[in-house]
Amino acid sequence: MKIKSRNVLRKTDQKALVNDIVEAFGDASSFADKKLEYVESDECDFIFVDGEPLLFKIEGKIFPTVKGALKLAPARRRVTVDPGAVKYIINGADTMAPGIVEADPAIKEGDLVIVVEQAHGKALAIGRALMPGKDMVGGKGKAVKSIHYVGDEIWKLEQK
């Protein structure tokens, strides 16, 4: 993944971004008084917070990367999986409904979601819901299509 350009966000743009994060996830205190940069790459665009890729842009919407989800620990749009599913998800597999123990009932099909592990609530992957949250627990088949996961190119992306 090659970075094309990097620009520090203006204060007005930072405020708008923080408001978007608060609206989507309820908290953005971890971004207060930080250096925010808009970074364009050949694959997708990111918001770097103090040099770390904590947010990325998917289809015009800002969403946390796995690192961003670990820092933000959002309470919404979470899909919790059992320990048996972890090894598959961190290798890029889609999340299957039988491995899901809990899901935000507000999740709609097509929403971006954060896949977390059950024991510690740590983020493992970012994906797109293939079914509503209320149907994920106890369901069958693929529930979340993986977009980004621990150990992939986005995870390894660092300030250069």
- pLDDT tens for the 160 residues of the chain, in order: 788 888 898 888 888 877 777 776 666 666 767 888 999 988 889 989 888 899 998 888 888 999 999 988 888 899 999 999 999 999 999 999 999 999 999 999 999 999 999 999 999 999 999 999 999 998 999 999 999 999 999 998 865 4
CATH code, domain carrying 49: 3.10.450.120
Q: Do residues 56 and 119 share a domain? A: no
Q: Do residues 56 and 91 share a domain? A: no
pTM for this model (two decimals)? 0.89
Inside any domain, residue 117: yes
CATH code, domain carrying 143: 2.30.130.10
Q: Do residues 94 and 129 share a domain? A: yes
Q: How confident is the model at residue 144, as a pLDDT?
A: 98
Q: How confident is the model at residue 79, as a pLDDT?
A: 97
Q: How far lies 78's CA from each of 1, 90, 143, 155, in Å?
A: 27, 16, 12, 19
Q: What is the residue range of 7's domain?
A: 3-72
What does the alpha-carbon distance between residue 136 and residue 35 come to, in Å, rounded to a whole number?
Answer: 38
Q: Do residues 25 and 60 share a domain? A: yes
Domain count, the chain: 2
What does the alpha-carbon distance between residue 58 and residue 34 come to, in Å, rounded to a whole number?
Answer: 22
Q: Do residues 26 and 46 share a domain? A: yes
